[in-house]
Chains A and B, each alone.
Chain A
Amino acid sequence: MDEKVRMEIKNMNFYYGTKQALCDINIQVYRNRVTAIIGPSGCGKSTLIRLLNRMNDLIPHARIEGEVLLDGHNIYGPDEDVVDVRRKIGMVFQKPNPFPKSIFENVAYGLRVNGIKDRQYIRRKVEKSIKDAALWGEVKDRLNDSALALSGGQQQRLCIARALAVEPEVLLMDEPASALDPTSTSKIEELIQELKKRYTIIIVTHNMQQAARISDYTAFLMLGQMVEYDLTPKIFTNPAKKVTEDYITGRFG
């Protein structure tokens, strides 16, 4: 395969106060591929993915060492504008978190943030994003209803639509299906397959089958260390490390 590197995590250490949460992480994320991050609860998956769009900047006393490159450019560089970074790197959170606004306004929000005023454009873009998130059929007749009235699965797809509307270069997803039922989950998985044609996707999941089904690359984390990172089929059929095998076969607590 001819792979192009889109993001690169280099010698990353991360501390919550004095507690080290990530130790010397190195990962290359490839363009138009789905990269899964798996590992036991508390191993630092969320911490890692939140570092990629500088969400951890909000946490007091947190400290980071190392670099995160987006197209060869350090997003933690001294001249880097954090707002700009987040615009380029979208995020879907573990728990669906639509704003207490209408369905339409939720998706339009990111466009308005960018100062777009053209109503025609906003309307078209909102429609396209909701279609891309495979939600259009279910909400097209009630775009002005509150987003909070949607089901959990619909809310999560709305959050995906909201993230897509601003056309990010990379899409981060932190366990986007963990709060959802099987039907909604499979919808979102199909969606990810569709989206990877245009986006680079990084997804955290604690569901091994899901990682095997949807990802091209898998990183296995444990206790803040990256144990193994490779092509997904390799990780799941012929892992290099014994711990990885134990974990993916469920022989591990």
Chain B
Amino acid sequence: MNKDITQKLGFICLSLCALITVFFLGTLIYFIVVRGAGAISWQFLTDVPRKFMTQGGVAPAIVGTFYLTLGSIMIALPLGLACAVYLCEYSPKSVVVNIIRISINNLAGVPSVVFGLFGMAVFVKFLGFGVSILSGCLTLAIMVLPSIISASQESLMAVPQSYREASLALGATQWYTIKKIVVPSALPGILTGVILSVGRVAGETAPILFTAGTFYMRGYPKSIFSEVMALPYHIYALMTEGAHPVAQTKIAYGCALILLILVLTVSTLAIFIRQKQRSMS
């Protein structure tokens, strides 16, 4: 009897907590949609900003976010995958490897604004890339490297040892085994990690604040050494600068809605891939 009540109470508590989470996500989406939907139009998506950003569109920011995301993943994926393969498949269990592992975990905990400062000091100033797409991509790449490495590591470790043994027993070298069996088998898991990182990169402001972002552009970036507009940074700029707060706020919510849709689409895709992968094994 007594047990029964405790169990029921526990259950109610848990479902309440779960509901609160859903409630927060729901209100957040509702809020952004209600405030942002009015701003969205064909012109908003395809035009450049006009009249001190009170009119026109945010196309350069969308394009910029696209470049920064694509660029940083193109840098971080090969690097992160190589690192994970080294750690999982080659490295003997040694002190050096432990140091690498601890470094990766610590890197994951560094606040994004610190990456921004680092990117400014190293890529913008020291290497002379200036405030540019390149500097921004490199900074973002370093920021997501740890999550790409750990996602890759997890997927590589989930590849059954029996696959490796079967390949080696046929006279394959370790490198051939990794190339043809291990990495292809781990690919769905690695892709999930990458897609989650895409969401993260697309939404971050701090790392590009000093390395890539610009407040206002009339056109589109010309090369990897150009500054870019990006959606999160644009929202920040609209809310903190300029002389037309009312008009700017409306546009900021429009940007927020686009960003939200982008990020949610990407993470839904990740969930979808993961589920498909699960049902296969």
Contacts and interface: CB of A to CB of B under 8 A. Distances in A.
Interface of A: 53, 55, 58, 60, 83-84, 86-87, 90-91, 93, 95, 97-100, 109-110, 112-114, 159, 162-163, 166
A99 B172 CA distance: 14
A223 B160 CA distance: 29
A204 to B, nearest CB: 15
Interface in B158-177: 160, 162-173, 176
B181 interface: yes
A197 B170 CA distance: 21
Contact of A83 (B163, B171, B181): B171
Given A86-B170, A99-B163, 19 more contacts: A53-B169, A55-B169, A58-B165, A58-B168, A86-B168, A86-B169, A90-B169, A93-B166, A97-B163, A97-B165, A97-B166, A99-B181, A100-B163, A109-B170, A109-B172, A113-B170, A113-B171, A114-B171, A163-B170
Nearest to A84: B171
10 contacts: A55-B165, A83-B171, A86-B170, A86-B171, A93-B166, A97-B162, A109-B180, A112-B180, A114-B171, A163-B170
Nearest to B162: A97
A83 B172 contact: yes
B162 A110 contact: no
A113 B176 contact: yes
B170 A100 contact: no
Contacts of A83: 171-173
B185 interface: yes
A53 B93 CA distance: 24
A34 B176 CA distance: 32
Contacts of B185: 100
Contacts of B180: 109, 112
B92 interface: yes
Nearest to A165: B170
A3 to B, nearest CB: 27
A58 B168 CA distance: 10
Contact of B170 (A60, A87, A95): A87
A60 B93 contact: yes
B162 A109 contact: no
B95 to A, nearest CB: 15
A66 B167 CA distance: 26
Of listed B163, B167, B170, B185, residue having the most chain A CB within 10 A: B170
B111 to A, nearest CB: 37
Minimum-distance CB pairs A-B, first 3 = A87-B171, A97-B162, A110-B170
Nearest to A100: B185
B165 A166 contact: no
Contacts of B169: 53, 55, 86, 90-91, 93, 163
Of listed B162, B166, B185, residue having the most chain A CB within 10 A: B166
A86 B173 CA distance: 10
B171 A110 contact: yes
Interface string B252-280: 00000000000000000000000000000
Of listed A83, A98, A166, residue having the most chain B CB within 10 A: A83
Interface in B199-249: none
Contacts of B170: 86-87, 90, 109-110, 113, 162-163, 166
B128 to A, nearest CB: 46
Nearest to B172: A113
Contacts of B181: 99
Nearest to A112: B180
Nearest to B166: A97
A166 B169 CA distance: 11
A162 B181 CA distance: 15
Nearest to A172: B169
Contacts of A99: 163, 166-167, 181
Contacts of B171: 83-84, 86-87, 110, 113-114, 166
